[in-house]
Each structure stands twice: as structure tokens, then as C-alpha cells.
Amino acid sequence: MVYGIIGMINFAHGDIFMIGAFISVITFLVLGALGITFVPLALVVVLLMAMIFTAIYGWSVERVAYRPLRGSFRLAPLISAIGVSIALQNAVQIAQGARVKPMEPVIAGGLTLFTDSNNFDVVISYLQIFIMVLTVVLMAGFTYVITRTSLGRQQRACEQDRTMAGLIGVNVDRTISTTFVMGAVLAAVAGLMVTLQYGVIDFYIGFLAGTKAFTAAVLGGIGSLPGAMLGGILIGLIEAFWSAYFTIEYKDVATFGILVLVLIFRPTGLLGKPEVEKV
């Protein structure tokens, strides 16, 4: 969304995701200390707290790192975003320490899909089902917002021509800030889901997640929400199949190798469209 509107990559997005994960763990600990153990209620409270805090961080990143440099040369906001990313990493490291933060499983159990004669069970957990359903619902909701609502029309107008959008009454600054906040809210959801799935986080998880997210966006077609989702699914499948049949240490090499091939033969990504500029 951010790239589609202002044409700039938010390299601090992975660290917003990391902050969402830490807020989730801290909120779980606070709720446990208060004796709130009802899982659905705890998940709702944790998700709301993570979304609120990451929304504030997302808004702050836009105001500090992007808005003052919006009219500058294209490399300046990129360097500024990388600086914000490093600052957020070190701030969390100082505040929470460099050690990993573990968390007990919150959602247990699953469904057995297949059992063979060697007692090898194929199981999908309830948490994985919840993650898949939530992902589809969120992407459908945000796609509806962008394609069918007034805010979505303003975002698409800013994407095409920010100057003209401002002339016809669109508040460009507010639209861009709202887009950053929306991205940060999605990052909060991702941070919570990763925390629930793996049960361990540290201050550095945002770097790899941000890199993979950027790779997924480029693979699917940067600027396209369905493309980003498709790219993320493909990266997950590539890593899973590579780890199953080859050495797991080179799964990232396989992912980025396929990305290079896609960029060579289809530079716009799988669902991306070439930009046509009329002169």
C-alpha cells in the first residue's frame, strides 16, 4: 500500500512487526498477572493493544522519516527509513534485552488429516486454521476498503497523481498517514500470529521478516495487495518444499534465487502491471 501511493519502500515495516510481537508478549504477561485466562478475551485484548501501539509507531515513522523528505530525491527517504529501522531495533534491544522472549502456547490442539501405515500423522493445528482464516478475512476486508470506499478512492487518486488529487480536494497528507497506520495495524496482526505460532521472539526478527515481506511484494507484483499475498504463499511453499527435499540451510538461497528468475523474465512480478506514463 505504501509503495503504491508514494512510490517508496517502507524498510521500517519489519520493525513495526517486531514491535507488535513484543507488545503482544508483554500484554499476555500483564493479562496473566491480572488473572485473565479466558483465551478469546485475552486474544482480543492483546490484538487491540498491539494494533494501537503499532498504529502510533506507523504514524510516527511517516511523520518523521517520510513526510519531511517527500519532495527530496528518492534515495533520501530510503536512507531515513533504514535509519528508523536501526533505531527501533536498538530501542527494543535496550528496553527488552538481547535475549529471546519465550511464551507458552495459547491455542493447543489440531485436526489429523492423514495417517499412514507407519503412524506418520499429518496434522493441522487449530492455530494454523485460525491464522489462515484471519489472513483471508483481513485481505478481503482491506481489498474492499481500497476498491469500494471513499478512503480507497483517495488512496488510488494519490497513487495516480498526488498533485491532482490535492487539487480536487483530497487531503494527501492525511491519506498517506492513514495508509501507514493501516500497514502498521496489519503488521501488529502478523506479529501476534508469529508469536502464537513460534512462541519465541527477539529484537532482530523484524529484519528477516521485512526482507521476506519485500521479497514477497516484488515476487507477487509490488503495489498489488493480492500479489503480495500470493508472493508470501509462494515463498512459504518454496521454503517448505526445499527444506523437505534438500538441505534446510539453503532455503533462503532458493527463495531469492527464484526471485531473481522472476525478475529476469517478468520484472513486474506475477500480478504486477507495467507502469505506463503519458507524456
Structural domain ending residue among the three candidates 177, 203, 229? 203
Q: At what angle do helices 251-265 and 205-220 cross, to 10 degrees?
A: 30
Other C-beta atoms lying within 10 Å of the C-beta of residue 171: 13
The structural domain count of the chain equals 2
Based on the domain organization, do 138 and 222 belong to the same domain? no
Domain residues for 128?
A: 2-203
Distance CA 242, CA 252 (A): 9
- Residue 277 domain flag: no
- Residue 47 domain flag: yes
- pLDDT computed for residue 275 by the predictor: 63
247 residue type, one letter: T
17 residue type, one letter: F
- pLDDT computed for residue 277 by the predictor: 58
- pLDDT computed for residue 276 by the predictor: 59
Structural domain ending residue among the three candidates 165, 188, 203? 203
Structural domain ending residue among the three candidates 145, 170, 203? 203
Based on the domain organization, do 109 and 37 belong to the same domain? yes
- pLDDT computed for residue 90 by the predictor: 92
Alpha helices in the chain (DSSP H): 2-6, 13-34, 39-61, 75-96, 126-148, 150-160, 162-167, 172-198, 205-220, 225-245, 251-265
- pLDDT computed for residue 108 by the predictor: 81
Based on the domain organization, do 220 and 265 belong to the same domain? yes
Based on the domain organization, do 124 and 210 belong to the same domain? no
Cross-strand pairs, 110: 125
Based on the domain organization, do 198 and 224 belong to the same domain? no
Per-residue buried b or exposed e for 106-145, using 16+ beta carbons within 10 Å of the residue's own CB:
bbeeeeeeeeeeeeeeeeeeebbeebeeebeeeeeebeee
- Residue 200 phi, psi (nearest 5): -155, 135
Based on the domain organization, do 141 and 12 belong to the same domain? yes
- Residue 242 domain flag: yes
Contacts for 258 with CB less than 8 Å, ≥ 6 apart = 219, 238
Based on the domain organization, do 39 and 102 belong to the same domain? yes
Its pTM stands at 0.86
pLDDT of the chain along its 279 residues, tens only? 777 676 677 888 889 999 999 999 999 999 988 988 888 899 999 999 999 999 999 999 888 888 888 777 777 878 888 888 899 999 999 998 888 888 888 888 888 877 777 777 788 888 889 888 988 898 888 888 888 899 888 988 888 888 888 998 899 889 989 989 998 999 999 999 999 998 899 988 888 888 888 888 888 887 777 788 888 888 888 888 888 888 888 888 888 888 788 878 888 887 776 665 555
Based on the domain organization, do 185 and 231 belong to the same domain? no
Based on the domain organization, do 39 and 132 belong to the same domain? yes
- Residue 279 domain flag: no
- Residue 278 domain flag: no
- Residue 243 phi, psi (nearest 5): -65, -30
- pLDDT computed for residue 45 by the predictor: 93
- Residue 41 domain flag: yes
